[in-house]
Structures are given as C-alpha cells and as structure tokens.
Amino acid sequence: MPKNQYVSTAVIRRMPRYYRFLGELLERGVTRISSKELAALMNLTASQIRQDLNCFGGFGQQGFGYHVALLHEEIRKILGLDQGFRAILIGVGNLGRAFVNHVDFTGSGFDLVGLFDKNPALIGKKISGLTVQDADEISAFCAAHTVDVAVLCVPSEAAQQTANGLIDCGVTAFWNFTQYDIKVEHPEAVVESVHLADGLMALCYQVNDARRSSSSAEK
C-alpha cells in the first residue's frame, strides 16, 4: 500500500541508512525489531523512524514491531535498488579506478557497464573486468546501450563540459566527484555531488570547535 505524496529529501537520505542497519541485523539473525530498539541502535528517535517509514506505507505491526527481512526488502524496493539501472564512469584516474574496485555498484542499484577516459595510456586497460574506452566513444556507446547514470571522476575543469555532452546523449543522472557544482537544465536531471574537500573542511571546523568548547569547559 505505497503512499504517493512528496517525500522530503531529509527522509530519502535516511533510507539508505535504515537499509544498511537492517541488513546488518539480518546478518546477525535478528528477525524482529521495534522502532524503539532501532532508534537506540541508530541514534534516532523512535518517532522519527515511524514517521519516515510511514511516508511509504505501514510496514509494521502494532504490538509487535517490524519484521527485519520484510522491511529490508521494502526499502530495497522504495529506493529502487532492484531495477538494474546502468552506469558508466568517466575518468579512470586514481579516484575513478578506486571507485570501480571499491564501490558496490550492484548492491546500490546500478550495474557498471562502461569505463571511459581520454588518456591514451589508459584506453584499452582492463579494470575489474571492464575495458577502458576512449572518451570520444561515449556518445556511440550511449546510442548503442541504455545508460542511466554517469559517474564523473574527471578533472573539475572538465566537469561541466563532460556533463553537457552526456546530457546530449540522454544521460540525465550524475554522481559527481569533481569540485565543481555542475548545472544541468534537463527537467529529469538529478545530480548527487560528493564534495570530498567540503567534508574535510567541515571536519576541520568541528575539530576546532570541539577543542574550543572543551577548553572553555575547563575553566
């Protein structure tokens, strides 16, 4: 009985975390859990968990709690991890190569089906079962295959241009690892940017702040 209102991004961003914790519980053989127990585990309020889940439907059972396996599966469907969307990765430098090997694309809803770079030294190399193709071949590849999302690991200066080219090829979703905030006009476009340096700077502030408050607490 999935509901059909708008769901805030705050809620959406918590869903993968629920999915992750439920996966861990499942592995540990836990079959049922109450919102209260899950809240304690995840450092949230029980209220928030129930509110969040009820954006999508009533997956619990009064007096009992939630079936871990069932809820896990429901969230999988909510996120759409079962659709086998197809991803390509552009820019097989240090970072790109690391993601190919390290990120569990399949478990996160995407099949990685192509690697591209414009560096001749990399073209033809095989990484994790995929052969690096010439970046000039992207549009031909997109014409021949369905491509749902592009992972951008190119230099920041090339980010916008690369994204524009991909939009023209019909690719509307981006996982952006460049420093640059790409702009995409397409109505169906979605961009998920991971600004690593921004996170590191925020950490820097927090370290300062923690020290400030602990030293002022001393007095």
Partner DNA sequence: TAGATTGTTAATCGATTAACAATC
Smallest distance from a copy of itself to CB 56, Å: 11
Q: At what angle do helices 9-27 and 68-79 cross, to 10 degrees?
A: 140
The count of C-alpha atoms lying within 13 angstroms of the C-alpha of 24, restricted to the half-sphere facing its C-beta, is 8
Report the site for a copy of itself in 172-201 (rule: CB under 8 A).
172-173, 175, 179, 181, 187-190, 192, 194-201
Residue 58 labeled ligand binder: no
Smallest distance from DNA to CB 80, Å: 21
According to DSSP, the residues that pair with 83 across neighbouring strands are none
Q: Beta-carbon neighbour count of residue 141 at 10 Å?
A: 16
- Cα diameter, the chain: 68
- Residue 195: partners with Cβ closer than 8 Å, 6 or more residues away: 179
Choose the contact partner of 126 out of DNA, a copy of itself, none; CB within 5 to 8 A by kind: none
Choose the contact partner of 54 out of a copy of itself, DNA, none; CB within 5 to 8 A by kind: DNA
The single residue among 29, 62, 104, 120 that binds a copy of itself, judged by CB under 8 A, is 104
Sequence-ordered strand ranges (E) for 13-58: 32-33
3-state secondary structure of 151: strand
Residue 92 labeled ligand binder: yes
According to DSSP, the residues that pair with 5 across neighbouring strands are none
Report the site for a copy of itself in 132-171 (rule: CB under 8 A).
148-149
Radius of gyration of the chain (CA): 21
Q: Based on CB atoms, which residue is closest to a copy of itself, 168 or 209? A: 209
Smallest distance from DNA to CB 61, Å: 5
Q: How many residues bind a copy of itself (CB under 8 A)?
A: 60
- Residue 152: partners with Cβ closer than 8 Å, 6 or more residues away: 90, 91, 159, 162, 163, 174, 175, 176, 177, 178, 182
Residue 80 labeled ligand binder: no
Choose the contact partner of 61 out of a copy of itself, DNA, none; CB within 5 to 8 A by kind: DNA
Smallest distance from DNA to CB 51, Å: 4
Instruction: Decide if residue 56 touches a copy of itself (CB under 8 A).
Output: no
Smallest distance from DNA to CB 84, Å: 29
CA distance 142 to 43: 43
Binding site, annotated residues for NAD(+): 91-96
Which residues of this chain interact with a copy of itself, rule CB under 8 A? 12-13, 15-17, 19-20, 42, 78-81, 83, 85, 93-95, 97-99, 101-105, 107-110, 148-149, 172-173, 175, 179, 181, 187-190, 192, 194-211, 214
